[in-house]
């Protein structure tokens, strides 16, 4: 199958459904109810960001979609499958650079394609690596090692590696949180452009309202613990988005609205603790 065919075969099987999720942790004998009947959906080919107060359970939700953590109640489904364990069809990008220091940039991108579940013939692997090196502007660094790269470049390698295996869905947990403001904006633009050409189902977690608006079709705002969905906001800004988009009246309005929602969610939490 050609790469274009692969990109075009996105179907309803790519939908992510969080269905009435409940989760608690026990710490020092105390029970902490983190999630309570938390439901939302990421449609096939859609980019959805999740924002919410710190500690409300965003990473926990992403870990459930990845199959690293199991819910106590409800289920996470990707297509027809209930997620019960990690699988290469779900690509994950973490905040910390999860690339292998002992492999070159090109080998890092190729890595997933050499694993049994995703193995591709050598010629095809080279094509995929070339394509993502180009897309991420990493061609001059193909034979460099991670320690020779800046933080932004390492995250580009991590993103290239996640896309390269042609996963059913992509799960990203604050992938740009460690970057300086300027690099972060450039990475958002790059990810937006990549999404326009690759059209994957993406669940993206961030603390930045601006980042969520810039990248997303919809933004899910979570409440404070025990966490459910407070509101789902349709962004409705046409693509392609550019640096100027951030100055548009619609963008500024959305930012104000989402910041308000986030602030009131955090205040609820402070109130609940008193």
Ligand X SMILES: Nc1ncnc2c1ncn2[C@@H]1O[C@H](COP(=O)(O)OP(=O)(O)OP(=O)(O)O)[C@@H](O)[C@H]1O
Stretch that binds ligand X, among 26-34, 37-45, 96-104, 163-171 (CB under 6 A): 26-34
Rounded to a whole number of angstroms, the minimum distance from the CB of residue 70 to ligand X is: 12
**Interface stretch with ligand X, choices 56-64, 83-91, 155-163, 193-201 (CB under 6 A):** 56-64
Q: Is 208 in the site for Mg ion (CB under 5 A)?
A: no
The smaller minimum CB distance to ligand X, of residues 30 and 244, is found at: 30
* Smaller CB separation from ligand X, 21 or 162: 21
Contact 197, 8 (CB under 8 A): no
Determine the interface stretch with ligand X among 7-15, 39-47, 49-57, 164-172 (rule: CB under 6 A). Answer: 49-57
Which one of residues 13, 33, 41, 59 is an interface residue with Mg ion (CB under 5 A)?
59
Looking at beta carbons only, is 164 or 222 nearer to ligand X?
222
Backbone angles phi, psi at 175, to 5 degrees: -65, -20
Contact call for residue 57 and ligand X (CB under 6 A): yes
Does residue 250 bind ligand X (CB under 6 A)? Answer: no
Partner from Mg ion, ligand X, none contacting 66, C-beta within 5 to 8 A by type:
none
> 3-state DSSP call for residue 91?
strand
Q: Which residues contact 92 (CB under 8 A, 6 or more apart)?
A: 62, 66, 98, 162, 170, 171, 172, 173
Shortest approach of Mg ion to residue 153 CB, angstroms? 23
CB of residue 96 to Mg ion, shortest distance in Å: 12
Strand 169-173 versus strand 201-205 pairing type: parallel
- How far does Cα 36 stand from its chain's mean position? 22
Order the strands of the 73-78 sheet from edge to edge: 30-42, 16-27, 73-78, 81-82
Minimum CB distance to ligand X smaller for 61 or for 128: 61
- Kindly state the greatest CA–CA separation across the chain: 62
> Which of 44, 55, 79, 152 lies at the binding interface for ligand X (CB under 6 A)?
55
**DSSP state, residue 14:** G
Nearest one of 255, 94, 58, 243 to 177, comparing CA atoms: 94
Nearer Cβ to ligand X, position 34 or 159?
34
> Does 264 interact with Mg ion (rule: CB under 5 A)?
no
Tokens of residue 19, six digits: 């269905």
Is residue 27 part of the contact set for ligand X (CB under 6 A)?
A: yes
* H-type alpha helices, the chain: 3-8, 58-66, 105-114, 122-135, 151-164, 181-198, 209-215, 249-273
DSSP code string of 100-116: -TTS-HHHHHHHHHHSG
- Is residue 58 involved in binding ligand X (CB under 6 A)? yes
Q: Indicate which of Mg ion, ligand X, none lies near residue 188 (CB less than 5 to 8 Å, by partner kind).
A: none
Residue 50 or 78: the one with the smaller Cβ distance to Mg ion is: 50
Positions in the binding site for Mg ion (CB under 5 A): 58-59
Positions in the binding site for ligand X (CB under 6 A): 25, 27, 32, 34, 52, 54-60
């Amino acid at each position: 199958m050609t790469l274009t065919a692969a990109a075009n075969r996105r179907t309803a099987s790519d939908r992510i459904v969080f269905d009435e999720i409940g989760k608690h942790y026990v710490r020092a004998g105390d029970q902490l109810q983190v999630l309570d009947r938390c439901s939302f959906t990421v449609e096939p080919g859609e980019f959805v960001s999740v924002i919410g107060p710190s500690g409300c359970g965003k990473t926990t939700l992403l870990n459930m979609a990845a199959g690293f953590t199991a819910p106590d109640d409800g289920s996470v489904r990707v297509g027809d499958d209930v997620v019960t364990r990690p699988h290469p069809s779900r690509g994950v990008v973490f905040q910390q650079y999860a690339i292998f220091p002992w492999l070159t940039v090109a080998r890092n991108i190729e890595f997933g394609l050499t694993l049994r579940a995703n193995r591709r013939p050598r010629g095809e692997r080279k094509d995929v690596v070339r394509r993502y090196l180009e897309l991420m502007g990493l061609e001059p660094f193909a034979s460099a090692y991670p320690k020779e790269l800046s933080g932004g470049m390492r995250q580009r390698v991590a993103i290239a590696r996640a896309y390269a295996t042609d996963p059913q869905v992509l799960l990203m947990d604050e992938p740009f949180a460690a970057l300086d403001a300027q690099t972060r904006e450039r990475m958002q633009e790059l990810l937006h452009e990549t999404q326009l050409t690759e059209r994957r189902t993406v669940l993206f977690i961030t603390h930045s309202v601006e980042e969520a608006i810039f990248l997303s079709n919809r933004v899910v705002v979570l409440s404070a613990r025990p966490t459910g969905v407070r509101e789902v906001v349709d962004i409705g800004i046409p693509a392609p988005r550019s640096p100027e988009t951030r100055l548009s009246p619609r963008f500024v309005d959305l930012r104000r609205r989402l910041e308000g929602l986030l602030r009131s969610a955090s205040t609820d939490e402070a109130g609940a603790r008193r």
